[in-house]
Amino acid sequence: MTTLTLPTVDEEIWRYSRINELDLSTYASGAVHTVVTGADGVLSSTPQDHVGVAMTNDPDVFAEMNRTSPDVVALVVARNTVHPQTVVVERTVSSSGIVAFPRLIVDAAENSEITVIERFTSADGVASLVVPVAEIRAAQSARVTYLAINELGANTWQIGHQLAVGERDSNVRIFTVALGGDYARVRAEVKLVGQGANAQQTALYFADSTQMHDFRTLQTHEAPRTHSDLLFKGAVKDTSASMSTPSKVTLPPVMT
């Protein structure tokens, strides 16, 4: 990892971040402890086969490192199936000095429905780096709800990426609750590739002491008659900070 070139604050999507403070040489490769409940019938036994179902390329070095991680949970919902339970994925960082790359994949087939909660925790004394990726594909008319909860300890860093792809008439809702971590960053991205696709991105955060919550949002409308909503709200106290860049919205070409 020490030979990798990290991004800098000179790049627009990393501007005002704390990326220049990161030294990967201080971390050894490790893993989070993962417990999955409520996933009977949708938990894949071959999760690596589903890597890239939404994230077809790696937008930065962190996504690139995550792609080769064995720590993958894949939830696959069959066509015309409503999964009756909320799936809960508990991610616990228990050791200091490690970097971990957990990946969650939600692949919802045509006219299916699923709700997933992914929760990240660590003790305050744990000084580590967690680099999670959540990739979500909602096929035609599928409905996916995803909630990420960050309750990491005061000395843990998080650099995360959420990417959802919505096909025709799909509905994707992504919620983030950010409470923990020293520096906690989420790149929240949706791509609406099918006509009539809808997406909702909502985040709530609270920071105190020297925490920093960093949100970067991107919304790409590749198909006509797509719709997306964005709401990020929070509060800071003490010397903490938050960063939320204006959402980058890409619209489909105008038909003439």
Q: Tell me how many domains the chain contains.
A: 1
pLDDT tens across 8-31, in order?
A: 999 999 999 999 999 999 999 999
Domain assignment present for residue 7? The answer is no
Contacts of 180 (CB under 8 A, 6+ apart): 120, 121, 122, 150, 151, 152, 153, 154, 156
- List phi, psi (to 5°) of 65: -65, -35
Query: Does residue 14 belong to any structural domain of this protein?
Result: no
Token pair listed for 25: 């040489």
d(CA 213, CA 158): 10
In a domain, 221, yes or no: yes
Range of the structural domain that residue 140 is part of: 29-250
Nearest by Cα to 174 from 140, 236, 218, 206: 218
pTM: 0.94
Q: What is the pLDDT of residues 93-138, one digit of tens each?
A: 999 999 999 999 999 999 999 999 999 999 999 999 999 999 999 9
> What parts of the chain have a pLDDT lower than 70?
1-3, 245-249, 253-256
- 3 within domain boundaries: no
Instruction: Let me know if residue 20 belongs to a domain.
Output: no
Is 11 domain-assigned? no
Is residue 255 included in any domain, yes or no?
no
**The pLDDT of residue 256:** 46
Whether residue 1 lies inside any domain: the answer is no
